[in-house]
Amino acid sequence: MKEKTTLSERLARGDLMEPDCPSRGVLMHVTSRWGVLVLIALTTGAKRFSELRRGIGGVSERMLAQTLQQLEGDGFVRRVAYQVVPPHVEYSLTPMGLEVAEKVRGLADWIELNIERIVTREPA
């Protein structure tokens, strides 16, 4: 009979710590600098590529395109291309994308609320 484990027990076991664990790639996409910012930017609704680029300071077209493709591949971002001239493409969060965006927003909010403590801390 298979032993039941809780989620925290499975996480403590450390599948994520294994080099071939598929969740590592997803974690990398979601927690990358641009992944976090794209997820947060899309929480307010669908946006065109140019809107995202303007709203996320410092991101290059190449990095934004790559990040959107990765998040779309993971099932967090939906890409809709409208057949009009000029071409019109919108990006939005899927239901699962909204869930993960809430998680990274919590981390981002904590960092912003504690940035003074972080940058002025005493050296170890």
Query: Confidence band (pLDDT; 50, 70, 90) for 41?
Result: very high
pTM of the model: 0.83
Q: Is residue 1 part of a domain?
A: no
Q: Is residue 69 part of a domain?
A: yes
Q: Is residue 11 part of a domain?
A: no
* Dihedral, 112, 94, 79, 22 alpha carbons, nearest 10: 80
- pLDDT per position as a tens digit, 59-106: 999 999 999 999 999 999 999 999 999 889 999 999 999 999 999 999
Q: Is residue 3 part of a domain?
A: no
Q: Is residue 94 part of a domain?
A: yes
Q: What is the pLDDT of residue 2?
A: 54
Length of the chain counted residue by residue: 124
Q: Is residue 6 part of a domain?
A: no
Q: What is the pLDDT of residue 10?
A: 62
SS3 82: strand
What domain range includes position 106?
Answer: 20-119
Question: Can you give the CATH number for the domain in which 72 is found?
Answer: 1.10.10.10
Mean pLDDT, the chain, rounded, equals 90
Measuring CA to CA, which residue among 46, 54, 43 is closest to residue 82? Answer: 46
Region 47-58: mean pLDDT is 96
Q: Is residue 9 part of a domain?
A: no
| Number of independent structural domains in the chain | 1
Q: Is residue 4 part of a domain?
A: no
* Dist. CA 38–CA 75, nearest whole Å: 14
Q: What is the pLDDT of residue 12?
A: 58
